Each structure stands twice: as structure tokens, then as C-alpha cells.
Amino acid sequence: MNEQFSTQPTPDTPDDIQIIELLGRFAPFPSARFNEKMEQAPWITTTSKEYRRLFSSSTPARRWVLVIAILIALLAFIGLSFSPSIRAVARQIIYSFISERSDKIVIQTTLTTPGDLFHFSDPANFPLTIQEIHEQAGFDVMEIMELPVSLKQVGSRFDSSYNAVTSLYQGNDYNLFLTQRPAESGEDVFSIGSTARVDLVKIGDQQGEFVRGGWKASSAQTITKTISPGNQTNINAVWDNYLPQYTLRWQAKGFMYELRTTGEGSPSQSELIALANGLK
């Protein structure tokens, strides 16, 4: 058995936080003699001369070539900034989805109860009503107002570690999860496989992102159901583009939303968008 040792810092010894604060205020300033030497450095002098020679040239043609080159670079930058594909890549990194380098990853999770991994969609895990979840979360909770005939609302749960509310709806042969949280609570991204496709869609006047497929445990891995609560578990997962799982994510009015369905009878992309537009 490994022995563990602990030491108590003396009152005169700074702790880690004090050292970090001290280093954060450390800002060395060069002396006047150093600045004088830098001004006389050969590379600075040469660069300054070349700069003056280029811009003080008496040849108008050179000036026009330089101006045209700057204009072309500026137009190219503006064109790339407004390109939908460039914007899509930027949003994937910042807001909704991040593509992994491959379709295989190792997911590390901590279970609070032994059945979390296997029975998350159990109605017993969603015991709260909308009024109860609103009081617990401290913000207005949206819900699907016009439910399809085959879909019913089960209940909600609040995850304090993410400041997120998840509501469960169940259909004949699928589950639908509505998750919402304030954007100020921090970044919220979802990992997808390298072969997954992100479709840009419209939720009202906001841009949303839709992905088909999901991660599933590797068929070569056996996961026991007797995992002790609080222990970390590693799951070898592979991305399956044909898994009956559909994820729609968007942001609106300072909140991040996600509609995710699992099951063969899951709604189509257009039906999910209609449900998202009907949240109140």
C-alpha cells in the first residue's frame, strides 16, 4: 500500500493561490538604456529605411500596385467572413458541435447512481413538474405547448452542476429530451464523430444546427451494471451516422436549447424544427 504524506505550510510560506496572484502582477519593464540600444538595432534601422523608401517612392505605379494589393486582400477577407461555410465552421467550434479526429473515442463519466448509464430515460428520473422545476432552476422554463397525439410529457429534472433543465417526452417508440440552460452558465458543446454532418437550419430568426447519429458503446466492450456510485467509468464509443438519434441545437434570448430524440419512431428534421418553434 502506498503511503501518503501531507505537510502543513508555515504562516510565512505563501500558498499556491498567493504565488499565482504574485506571478500575475509580475510585469518587467525595460530600462531607458535598453530602449536606446533597440532603436539603434540594425534590423530596425534597415526596416525603417525600406519602409520610407517604399512609401516615399516617386514612381506612381508602385503606389497604385500597393493600394490595389491592399484592396484585394481586404475584399478577400470580407468575402471569407460572410461565407456560410466559414461561419458554420466557426460556430461549430464555439457553440454547438465539435468534430472529433475519428469516429472512435473514450468517454469518461461519473455515475451518481448505478442505473444512470442504463436507465436515464426512466420516468422516475424526471419527477418534477414545470412549476417545480422553475422554482428549483430559478429561470423561466420553456415547454412544448402543442404536442403531437403520440407524444406525452413525462416530467423534468434539474442538473445543478450544469445549471440545466431537461424535460422528458415519450412517444410510442421513441424518447424526446428538451434541455435548456442560460448561455451565461458557460460553454455548451457536443462532441460528434469525424464523419458526422452538421446541417444549418432556421429556428425562427435564429440559426440552429442539426445532426443525425450518435455515440454508442463498442460491441467489443462489456459494461457491468454493478458499477459503484461515484466511481469513474471509461466507455469505448464509436460514432454511428445511422443510429436513430437526432439532435437539434440553437441559442435564443440568452439561452441554449437542445432537442434530442432516440428511437426508431423519432420525428424528422422538419418535425423537430416545428417543435422548437412552438416552445413557450
**Contact predicate 249/190, CB 8 Å:** yes
Residue 226, domain member (yes or no): yes
- Percentage of the chain modeled with pLDDT above 70: 60
Residue 233, domain member (yes or no): yes
User: Looking at this protein, which amino acid is placed at residue 166?
Assistant: T
Q: What are 55-75's pLDDT values in tens digits? A: 555 566 666 766 677 777 777
Question: Is 216 in the same domain as 184?
Answer: yes
Residue 20, domain member (yes or no): no
Question: Is 112 in the same domain as 168?
Answer: yes
Question: Is 77 in the same domain as 104?
Answer: no
Residue 158, domain member (yes or no): yes
pLDDT over 50 (residue 175): yes
The domain of 223 spans 99-277
> Measured on CA atoms in the order 161, 275, 271, 255, is the torsion positive or negative?
negative
**Contact predicate 154/170, CB 8 Å:** yes
Question: Is 77 in the same domain as 110?
Answer: no
Residue 24, domain member (yes or no): no
Question: Is 239 in the same domain as 141?
Answer: yes
Residue 210, domain member (yes or no): yes
Question: Is 64 in the same domain as 121?
Answer: no
What integer pLDDT is reported at residue 86 of this predicted model? Answer: 43
Question: Is 134 in the same domain as 268?
Answer: yes
Q: What are 97-137's pLDDT values in tens digits? A: 888 889 998 877 665 554 444 567 889 999 999 999 999 99
**Contact predicate 197/216, CB 8 Å:** no
Question: Is 106 in the same domain as 223?
Answer: yes
Task: Look at residues 26, 54, 81 and tell me which one is the last residue of a structural domain.
Answer: 81
DSSP the chain: -------PPPTTS--HHHHHHHHHH------HHHHHHHHT-HHHHHHHHHHHHHHT-S-HHHHHHHHHHHHHHHHHHHHHHT-HHHHHHHHHHHTSEEE-SSSEEEEEEE-SSTTTTT-TT-GGG--B-HHHHHHHHSSPPP-BSS--TT-EEEEEEEETTTTEEEEEEE-SS-EEEEEEEEGGG----EEE-TT--EEEEEETTEEEEEEE-EEEE-TT----S-PPTT-EEEEEEEEETTSSEEEEEEEETTEEEEEEEESTT---HHHHHHHHHTB-
Question: Is 166 in the same domain as 76?
Answer: no
Per the structure, the count of domains in the chain is 2
Question: Is 127 in the same domain as 253?
Answer: yes
What is the distance between the alpha carbons of residues 255 and 95, in angstroms, rounded to a whole number?
Answer: 12
Residue 187, domain member (yes or no): yes
Q: What value, to the nearest 5°, has the Cα angle with vertex 157 and ends 156 and 161?
A: 150
Residue 133, domain member (yes or no): yes
What integer pLDDT is reported at residue 182 of this predicted model? Answer: 94
What is the distance between the alpha carbons of residues 127 and 109, in angstroms, rounded to a whole number?
Answer: 23
For 155: left if phi > 0, alpha if psi spans -120 to 50, otherwise beta; the answer is left
Question: Is 59 in the same domain as 134?
Answer: no
Per-residue confidence band for 5, with pLDDT thresholds at 50, 70 and 90: very low
Question: Is 115 in the same domain as 69?
Answer: no
Regarding pTM above 0.85, the answer is: no
Q: What are 75-100's pLDDT values in tens digits? A: 766 655 554 444 444 444 435 788 88
Q: Can you tell me the mean pLDDT for 176-190?
A: 87
